[in-house]
Structure 1
Amino acid sequence: MPTLAPAATRRTVLQGLAASGLAVTIAPTLARRAAAAGTRPPNIVFVSIDDLGWDELGCYGNTFNETPTIDRLARAGTRFTNAYAAAPLCSPTRAALVTGQYPARTGITDFLRAEAAPSNTFLSPDIPTVPDVLGPLGYTTGLIGKWHLTETYSGAYRSRPGNPWAHGFDEVVASEQQYIGDGDYFHPYFFMPALPAREPDEYLTDRLAQEAVDFLTRHRDEPFFLHLSNYAVHTKLDAKADLVAKYTAKPGADRSPNRPVLAAMLESIDRQVARIVETLDELGLTENTLLVVTSDNGGPYRDANAPLRGGKGELYEGGIRVPLVAYWPGTVPAGRSDATLTSTIDVLPTALDLAGGSPGAEFDGVSIVPALTGRGEVDRDTMFWVYPHFIGTTHPHAAVRQGQFKLVQHLRDGHTELFHVVRDPAETTDVSSRYVAKTEALTALLDAHLADVGTFPPRPSESAYPHPELVEAFDTDLAHWDVLPVGSYVGQHAVADGRLSVTSDKLTHLVFRSDVSPGSDEVAIVLDTGTFAEAGSQDTVFVGLARDAANYLLFRYHNGLHRVGWDLRLDNRLITAGGEPLDNLDGTVDLTGPAARYAFVLRGTSATAYADQGAGWEFLYTVDVGGALDLSDPAVRSAYRYATSVRLDDGTITLDGLTAHRA
């Protein structure tokens, strides 16, 4: 992984422009010009299917599932074969859809968990979204269904940070009020407890269809942008009993990749799309409406993405290449298969282009109108993805596709794989040794992109953090340190021979808090580990920030398990629930070597762990604690001090030193 120099990124520039109202400039004469010409800009209906796999529609090769309406739209319109989700998971893709920006610029790079997690991640209303861009051109904007761009699930929905109304959507219908994990498809819906049913035994996909019909009818006389955002076919799978019975009885129902319940759910979505098409026909809007059907990421079932490699949560093709069907009689050519490289980031700039605007540098995406109309080529051949998180067995990674090649970089140690995805869409063969120059070029492109979007803070270095604030070599006493016990038992501690030692024969946890507070919210704290007890069950050291024994944010390393993680304690309550599955790192980190170091790097409301096992800094993980502890606030930060900590129940642990530098 590259060392990233601190710099103003395009993301920060765009957010600054947004705050000043300058991010999207649309000439006011455009709407007047359209009115004078007696024309009406086209409507846009965007139907997203949650977790739809590459091979789950009939028009993409599936012979078990039945999707006759979508298949007909593919025959009467255009089927894209190089369409990508902007991320391998839902929330970042949805952020990209409504902003036209790469997810990393929006601050949404992972799916948003329930609020037990101590972050407070949401899509900032300061970032221009669909209503900001299309509203000035006379468009009514609607969201029906899943939003998943705020992590707060308490209080009135309209008051929650990043809610769709805060972004200016004119209508928001059937959007989740509670965390949507595990799915819920029959009324009453646990994640929408305040939503009354409109019919007995209501099925959620059907409800969304009726809401879409009503929206189209209400706004038949004005241009509109509607995102019909399905919760299906996200797990846990559940469908109407008659459809499940139909597919269970089909030949091959028990063979991979066939899933009768998923097939039943997908047929309900297909019927939903049919109702939209029928309504557009009845209202006389068909020839002035672009209808798009796609997925927010690859399917979670690897066999449903065949022949593509991987699935949801991965940046291999199965996690991000998705079906995309565009239908617009008289404008989108019929019966065409198009290999244009396109992404979710293109939705908003394409909509703006169709509305009469001129999408430019405010977007990462581009207009794909030339590909939709078949009258030209889209001006782009490079796209990026960044997923700096853990999910399942997947570790943080990033990717770039340029032309026929795609490079995947594993962010911990920077090693890369290169695939010729045109000849080898299944990504079976790493060709990096054969195409060395291409590998180097794409690595440089991806490194520059990571720096541009500001994915990571710089790794600890004198150049990135030049101002020393604390240099403790433990060569004197602890006069400038407070020793804070966490719990009732206090083991022995001492400073001798340039080392701090803690000895105990029963469980003890001591926090050593310095008398120095961080001078900014961009600091690097480095713990030089010493020797470990190599006994007991709590052979653990920590580095980070502490206010007192009941309030701290510390990164931990457990030597017995070679495990890393983090502890956030507030008012003596430990709140690390909801974090990423860092057990993926278990057994892979060893800080017992003579040059081993563990680093806590603060940037704003997030902190990143780096480890040096003797061969240089490796990225481990990032945590965002802004919802619980806002260390970007100078008043909050001034109450905290640089700290290290030891927890053990048998033997002696020593620490060699602690340093802290700010940018």
Structure 2
Amino acid sequence: MPRPATAQRPQRPQRPQRPQRPSRPRPSRRRFLSTATGTAVAGLVAAPWPASAAGRGGRPGRRPPNVVFVSIDDLGWDELGAYGNTFNETPHLDRLAREGVRFTSAYAAAPLCSPTRAALVTGRYPARSGITDFLRGEAAASDKHLSPDIPTIPDVLRPHGYTTGLIGKWHLTETYSGPYRERPGNPFAHGFDEVIASEEKYIADGDYFHPYFFLPDLPAREPNEYLTDRLAAEAVDFLTRHRDEPFFLHVSNYAVHTVLDARPELVAKYRAKPGADEAPNRPVLAAMLESVDQQVGRIADTLAELGLDRDTLLLVTSDNGGPYRDANQPLRGGKGELYEGGIRVPLIAHWPGRVRGGRSEDAPVSTVDVLPTALDLAGGRPGRHRFDGVSLAPVLTGAGALRREELFWVYPHFIGSTHPHAAVRSGRYKLVRYFRDGRSELYDLARDPGETTDISARHPGRARALRARLEAHIAEVNVLPPTPRRAAYPVPELAETFDGDLARWSVLPVTEHVGDARVENGRLAVSADQLTHLVFRSDVTPGSDTAAAVLTPGTFAEAGTQDTVFVGVAQDADNYLLFRYHNGLRRVGWDLRVDGQLVTAGAEPLHNLDGTVDLTGPDARYAFVLRGTRATAYADQGDGWEFLFTADTGGALDLSDPAVRARYRWATSVRLDDGTITLDGLTAHRA
């Protein structure tokens, strides 16, 4: 059976010519994910570039140094022996920490994997690439991916003679069908020379013993193969093949992501240890982590055996904080949160002869620093590349201090019980701000690393200054569209106050029963005594993909089980994108209907908002704000606009395409099963 491209292990050739970069397939949508994101990237200022003792004539050996970056999925702050864990056994990693640098203020660029991985390969904050959340499987309406138009590791390092390799998890595309090399955002499209054992199907809940469901075309190399061991073998082969040329290798583990599974003999070992049944000890996770530790040990030993260890920077870290909060102690929170437990991660740097061993380094560093560091060590300068990260070479080699003022995080999504929020760290202080209500919290991480005490009231000036810096950053990366203020959307398109009849409106029944729809007393009224869902489509097409529609509700039925109003766009009763508000449950959400089928699977857990939105007040409004392939919901409960959620529908409905948008009209809708609902008006404006 021939080996697939995603798992190819070529034999070592005799100094081959550098392969030509594969042609890049055009993204299925958005050239740069959005015009706004592209503008934000163009506006970046080049990061300060410390002079490195390892680069520009000072590099060891006769060639640029190699970089091996090992990522451990969902590794918690307190899960390595080098970071204080006494139950898990990680001797190889602990040795690297003793011989190298153990960072104590290292951060993932995001609280979840996909955005951190995007930051790794671009050197930019996730918001600049449009990858701000983990990418779901194909059930989601979006087809988001890391655009090949964004420069990544191969683009930056190829001019310096580097071979680039990815072994393991990629998770930067939502497309898991069709030929691997033709999928938008696949690693080959980004120029990686070798891509081995990277997921062909959505990784879902993990799979660690062959045959792997997300790698159906990958044959086993040994009986009862364990995936972490397989990645280790592939890494050893890669190092051997490329011993005579500089390389950047990302060994991207799927472990220790849930669902946890490990070699039975290792699980038995940890279940037999004292304290195995006491929190935070987890025997299966400990067994998985021991396999990862053995993998890193094999990589380090191979580098030494090949004589490459003194020419190779080896970095080991996590893509986000651990999902188990007790594994992040004493830090607050966990995966999906911008408190320290969700983003502060272990980071070990090992480089014999270049990195002075036995050190702990407290300088705040981030995933975005890896690519600038590799470029610096290669002897390069940023040039046309613009990074948010800075080179860590001065800190690693002891040649100087880190030149950085702040680190930023923006997570405008829901996961678990977490609401959209953002954070900034400046020196010892960190501010966390929530998008919904604008509240912010200030912490002194030097005195309070567990973020137990909000000191914003005691230090209002510092809180204001950090909040201003964070808000400026959020505006710069352009992650959210402006609220539906007239200043942001000055061109009027629709102003319906229902003072006349419905001549300009098409009444489209979604259900068999149509109830009674009429205009009376300056309101649109819909009455029903059984389930009725009507879409009211205007005769106005959105004139731009940067626009906003605002619904002013009237009275709600407050009877039966359906008491819902909608605002958005519609083509007909079988094709629409509408934001809904269910008054009885105080619930918001979105319905994307394509050819009569709802395709909103994979959406964020918006139930976090249940019971928190009330649009019954006299000044209440509900807004649908369109920007490209995404639409954002804002609500005004009488005190100003509040961010609610964003829906990305580019995989099913691309309203950035003028031809698609031309088929749709501004719309509102009512769904009820008893009583009467009225609407006061609908307005729409564009930028």
- Normalised by the length of structure 1, the TM-score is 0.96
Residue pair 2:574, 2:594 contacting (<8 A) in 1 also: yes
Residue pair 2:40, 2:478 contacting (<8 A) in 1 also: no
Counterpart of 1:317? 340
**Residue 293 of structure 2: which of 258, 264, 270 is its match?**
270
Counterpart of 2:674? 650
Residue pair 1:9, 1:452 contacting (<8 A) in 2 also: no
Structure 1: distance between partners of 2:293 and 2:533: 58
Residue pair 1:15, 1:127 contacting (<8 A) in 2 also: no
1:560 aligns with 2:584: yes
Counterpart of 2:126? 103
Structure 2: distance between partners of 1:164 and 1:623: 26
Structure 2: distance between partners of 1:96 and 1:574: 33
Structure 1: distance between partners of 2:419 and 2:36: 25
Residue pair 2:318, 2:346 contacting (<8 A) in 1 also: yes
Structure 1: distance between partners of 2:153 and 2:146: 13
Gaps of 5+ in 2: 1-33, 50-54
Residue pair 1:390, 1:582 contacting (<8 A) in 2 also: yes
AA paired with 1:39?
R
Question: Closer, same or farther in 2 for the Cα pair 1:433/1:38, shift >3 Å?
Answer: closer
1:620 aligns with 2:644: yes
For 1:392-403, list aligned pairs within 5 A: 392-403=416-427
Q: Secondary structure at the match of 1:64?
A: coil
- Per-residue CA deviations over 1:537-573 (Å, capped at 9, x if unaligned) read 1100000000000000000000010000000001101
Question: Closer, same or farther in 2 for the Cα pair 1:9/1:340, shift >3 Å?
Answer: farther
Counterpart of 2:25? none
- Per-residue CA deviations over 1:222-255 (Å, capped at 9, x if unaligned) read 0000000000000000000000000000000000
Question: Closer, same or farther in 2 for the Cα pair 1:440/1:13, shift >3 Å?
Answer: closer
- Per-residue CA deviations over 1:292-332 (Å, capped at 9, x if unaligned) read 00000000000000000000000000000000000001111
**Residue 285 of structure 1: which of 288, 300, 308 is its match?**
308
The structural deviation recorded for 1:585 is 0.4
- Normalised by the length of structure 2, the TM-score is 0.92
RMSD: 1.9
The structural deviation recorded for 1:336 is 0.3
- Per-residue CA deviations over 1:598-649 (Å, capped at 9, x if unaligned) read 0000000000000000100000000100010110000100100000000000
Structure 2: distance between partners of 1:326 and 1:33: 21
The structural deviation recorded for 1:14 is 3.4
**Residue 341 of structure 1: which of 336, 359, 364 is its match?**
364
Residue pair 2:37, 2:477 contacting (<8 A) in 1 also: yes
1:87 aligns with 2:110: yes
- Per-residue CA deviations over 1:83-119 (Å, capped at 9, x if unaligned) read 0000000000000000000000000000001111100
Structure 2: distance between partners of 1:239 and 1:331: 35
**Residue 390 of structure 2: which of 344, 347, 366 is its match?**
366
AA paired with 1:56?
E
Structure 1: distance between partners of 2:43 and 2:280: 47
Structure 2: distance between partners of 1:254 and 1:156: 46
AA paired with 1:438?
R
The structural deviation recorded for 1:496 is 1.2
**Residue 498 of structure 2: which of 460, 465, 474 is its match?**
474
1:240 aligns with 2:267: no
Counterpart of 1:58? 81
1:202 aligns with 2:229: no
Residue pair 2:109, 2:125 contacting (<8 A) in 1 also: yes
Q: Secondary structure at the match of 1:247?
A: helix
AA paired with 1:221?
D
Q: Secondary structure at the match of 2:645?
A: strand
Structure 1: distance between partners of 2:599 and 2:233: 41
**Residue 572 of structure 2: which of 548, 551, 562 is its match?**
548
For 1:624-639, list aligned pairs within 5 A: 624-639=648-663
Q: Secondary structure at the match of 1:210?
A: helix
**Residue 464 of structure 1: which of 466, 481, 488 is its match?**
488
- Per-residue CA deviations over 1:468-523 (Å, capped at 9, x if unaligned) read 00000000001100000002111101111110000000000000000000000000
Structure 1: distance between partners of 2:111 and 2:284: 23
AA paired with 1:336?
R
Residue pair 1:34, 1:41 contacting (<8 A) in 2 also: no
Counterpart of 1:523? 547
Counterpart of 1:416? 440
The structural deviation recorded for 1:157 is 1.2
Structure 2: distance between partners of 1:525 and 1:136: 48
1:500 aligns with 2:524: yes
The structural deviation recorded for 1:15 is 6.3
The structural deviation recorded for 1:10 is 7.2
The structural deviation recorded for 1:381 is 2.6
The structural deviation recorded for 1:9 is 6.2
The structural deviation recorded for 1:39 is 1.8
Structure 1: distance between partners of 2:525 and 2:411: 39
Structure 1: distance between partners of 2:626 and 2:366: 32
Q: Secondary structure at the match of 1:652?
A: strand
**Residue 218 of structure 1: which of 214, 226, 241 is its match?**
241
Structure 1: distance between partners of 2:105 and 2:201: 34
Structure 2: distance between partners of 1:544 and 1:36: 58
